[in-house]
Structure 1
Amino acid sequence: MGEIMFLAHRIPFPPDRGDKIRSHHVLKGLARLAPVHVASFADDEQDYRFESDLAALAKSYRLVDRRKPLPLAGIEALASARPLSLTAFHDRRLQRYVREVLSRHPVDVIYVFSGQMAQYVPAGFRGRVVADLVDVDSAKFAAYAAKSTGFRAWMERREGRLMRAVEARIVGSSDVTLLISEAEVRLLRSRLSDTAASASKICAMGNGIDSAGFDPVRVSPEPRMLEKRAPRLIFTGQMDYAPNVEAVTRAMDRIMPLVRKFCPDATLHVVGRNPPPSLQARSGRDGIEVWGRVEDIRPWLSAADIALVPLELARGVQNKVLEAMAMQLPVVLSPEAATGIDACDGRDFLVAGSDADLADAVISLVRDPKREKRVASAARDWIVAHAGWDTALAKLPDYLGFGGRSLSDAA
């Protein structure tokens, strides 16, 4: 067994957002199996605070700032007939680093995390390629386009069409293609030709959760949130991500007014980095609190009474749901947010589709504190039993071609 090259579109530290949580734990798993060389981007100066963590885990690494402005990446994409997703993450510094590592080290496997990074796999590489697409980006852009208008809708349709072709090429050139759930596997196969879909190895590798770290017994509630009126509902996530903004807007405009008819003191707490001005302007009114970026999400979850996750567009497995369940918080969520989580509706969480049904589910928990406690306890029990990272990554050695190895043996 040789060494591994890990290509990630964001530094896998800290594990504080969906993609970085997955890449963080995958990287740790890879490092337990073989020496790993990491090529990755930093989004901002805060990311460089964690460079020492990356250095401690990797045999070598190259971390570069993603400094290309989005308008410039868009112009390059239009001029080159390439997807914006690729031009935005194209960097000659990373290209050089990958070439140098492959020329000097016995790299047998390249692990591609996210489709944007497949462009760094050299055409002549003779080792094994594992492409972790996480979810089907082309379908996501098509869904965005359906909800947009004008030039933005045209660009998103274009991105979806071009990324569909990119995904087909990635599948064709990879030994294994991974997605986050069986639903995403089926979706990707449906978007490939019959020949490609049947000839390719496409597998689901789900997300996990650190149930020991996300343990309510170990966490003190955030005092600033405890000062607000109860019941306290919470939504967490990257708040410059369009589906999260859409979900929170839905909660503010359509769900919370129904909840507050029954519970006038109910408050909604939006916790996550980079909330847009449209959300910030709502903070402090009608029971809404927008907190922005926090260092640790766990105290905020600990201070909440119910997690509300009314996503209308969701791909893969929602880490925000797993985290809330691990923190023994009852979760009310849409069917889209429940995708890929094989917990039991009505026991481990409450799934509802319409605004009225989501509000009714919240109200049912408030009315019945004993039921609220039962759902919260069942959520935590399900996470501990089914959602650990060792379980999620159990087949990782096989995907890498490291037959006969296991992460537990390598620990």
Structure 2
Amino acid sequence: MAERAAGSPGRSRRSWKDMGAERRTAAVTEGFGGTRPRLAVVSSVLPFPRTSGQAQRVHYTLQAARERFEVAYVTVAPKDQTDEVSRRLREFCDESVVLPSLWPGQGREAPLRRLRGAAYVARTGLKPSNYVIGRVELSPERLRGVLETRRFDCALFEYWHASESVRVFRDKGIPCVLDMHNILWRSYARQLEALRMVPAWLRRWAVERYRRREEEAWRRFDRVIAINREEERYAAETLQPGRVFYAPMGVELRAWPYSWAPAEPKRVAYYGGLGGAQNVRTALRCAQAIMPEIWKSQPAAELWLVGSNPPEELRRLAADSRIKVTGFVENVRELLRTMSVVLCPWSGRYGFRSRVVELLALGVPAVATADAVDGMELEPGQGIRVAEGDVGLARAALELLDDARLARATSAAGRRRVEELFDFDHTYGRLMREITSWLRTAKEVAA
């Protein structure tokens, strides 16, 4: 039987899905010599387990990138774990490059390396993690070795700690993009505010040194990615508008279906990883300052502290039978959907509260400070109520607890807003389309 020629009726037997995939592949490879462009993702953060916002963002970034790029993931792991990490990464990328960790080293090398790290911190005003990642684990010398036998069309760095290695890619004509995750000098300022024993002038000086170093690092990249609208504005002013992509934290709507079903007695929650100092302080504020105001009107209401790694000072709160401290929850969606309202009394205008987006996707109303939702394009009534101060936050929560109609309207509006702004395609999918288009245009101009 003769073979069918291309374009003959035999092609119609293929599924529309297959034909659509071919069209997408053709669109992606156009301008790249008929092959998928190669993307190196340089990161000390792994896409698993997805228990933190940063790991979640890396996970979704890789998922979107693989639709348009051939992805190589460059990271580090302890020497006895490199094979296992490499094996697990195969699910997320086309090639894994797992460098054995060099920190802190062995024998006499370890104290010397720690001493050099301390000197670096004192000289630059940066953190130990900047030295460990940028000068040791993902140093220019190590990444130069990665590039010896590999070709890439673009490099994407998660966080700016390894920014000195950008020059290695630049030397080979490879454009570099930075996912800022958030403006780190702002989170550093918030951390220093807790150190009341340190004079205010010294805290300001330390933050200013860190800010200058961070913004100097941004300038090494061809483009940066901002995580919220306010940080996009700031980065555009610091660099220039054409050098900033915008990609907020998104969610897979199928994984976070609208399913709000508030339980009785009414449940008020705080949701977030409970191992960090900021979240611990915020959870304590909910228990010790906001809930007492709510209990005046709703004495049976429960407070649920939902998150992994709660320290003992939070676990002790469960001595009050109305307070539940969950620790890690395997299927957190099933628990969250039973909450009447979730509190987010965050302080500090930086980053992105991805947990708020997850809550709104489920339909759970949230009460937040203006800081918590700064730059997220969420307005009062769109799944959230905005208030300030312990009494103000408690009153806003009580309005939702006492008015079922208001709570239902807030719930539905929140889900609609997430569908408009934060689904996977509007966030990570759009980012990868924009990066591909930018690379293609740059190649055309260079040609």
TM-score (norm 1): 0.84
CA contact (8 A) 1:13 1:50 kept: no
Distance 1:92 1:200, change over 3 A: same
Matched position secondary structure for 1:250? helix
1:214 equivalent to 2:250? Answer no
Shift of 1:351: 0.8
Distance 1:315 1:391 in 2: 21
User: Does the 8 A contact of 2:102 with 2:136 survive in 1?
Assistant: no
> In the superposition, relative to structure 1, how do residues 50 and 388 fare at CA in structure 2: closer, same or farther (>3 Å)?
farther
Residues 48-87 of structure 1 aligned to structure 2 (within 5 Å): 52-63=87-98, 68=103, 76-80=116-120, 81-82=123-124, 83-84=126-127, 85-87=129-131
Q: Say which one has the larger Rg.
A: 2
Code of the residue aligned with 1:177 in structure 2: it is V
CA distance in 2, matches of 1:12, 1:178: 18
Q: Cα 1:158–1:30, aligned 2, differ >3 Å: closer, same or farther?
A: farther
1:205 is matched with 247
Give the counterpart letter for 1:398 in structure 2. Answer: E
Is 1:399 aligned with 2:444?
Answer: no
The 2-side partners of 1:140 and 1:310 are apart by 16
Q: Aligned in 2, Cα 1:115/1:352: closer, same or farther, shift over 3 Å?
A: same
User: 1:147-296 maps to which residues of 2 (within 5 A)?
Assistant: 147-150=194-197, 160-188=207-235, 192=238, 197-198=239-240, 201-217=243-259, 230-285=265-320, 287-296=322-331
Residue ranges of structure 1 left out of the alignment (5+ in a row): 405-411
Deviations 1:121-170 (Å, cap 9, x if unpaired)? 34434210001112110122122212313469899767634432332222
Match of 2:157 in 1: 112
Q: Is the 8 A contact 2:45 2:158 kept in 1?
A: no
Unaligned 5+ runs, structure 2: 1-31, 105-109, 442-447
Q: Choose from 5, 11, 28 the match for 2:46.
A: 11
Q: Secondary structure at the match of 1:56?
A: coil
Residue identity in the other structure for 1:174: F
Native 8 Å contact 1:216 1:327 kept in 2:
yes
CA RMSD of aligned residues (A): 3.3
Shift of 1:287: 2.2
Q: CA deviation at 1:172?
A: 1.8
Residue identity in the other structure for 2:279: N
CA distance in 1, matches of 2:377, 2:92: 32
Partner of 1:408: none
* Cα pair 1:246 1:311 within 8 Å, conserved: no
**Pair 137,280 (structure 1): closer, same or farther in 2 beyond 3 Å:** same
Q: Which amino acid aligns with 2:366?
A: V
3-state SS of paired residue (2:180):
strand
TM-superposed CA distance for 1:299, in Å, is 1.6
Which of 101, 112, 116 is the equivalent residue of 2:146? 101
Name the CA distance, whole Å, in 2 between partners of 1:66 and 1:371. Answer: 53
SS at match of 1:344: coil
Which residue identity does 1:374 align to in structure 2?
A
Cα deviation per residue 1:341-398 (whole Å; 9 max; x = unaligned)? 2233124311111211110111111111122122112211221232112111314333
- Match in the other structure for 2:14: none
State the percentage of identical aligned residues: 21
Distance of 1:248 and 1:23 partners within structure 2: 26
Residue of structure 2 equivalent to 1:321: 356
Q: Letter of the aligned partner of 1:117 in structure 2?
A: A
* Count of residue pairs brought into register by the alignment: 391
Select which of 113, 130, 133 maps to 1:89: 133
Aligned pair in 2 of structure 1 residues 319, 349: CA closer, same or farther (>3 Å)?
Answer: same
1:21 to partner: Cα distance: 1.6
Give TM-score, length-normalised by structure 2. 0.77
Counterpart CA distance in 2 for 1:304 and 1:49 is: 38
Task: Provide the C-alpha distance between the structure 1 equivalents of 2:283 and 2:159, rounded to a whole number of angstroms.
Answer: 26
Q: Distance in 1 between matches of 2:73 and 2:44?
A: 11
Are the structure 2 counterparts of residues 89 and 277 from structure 1 closer, same or farther at C-alpha, using a change threshold of 3 Å?
farther
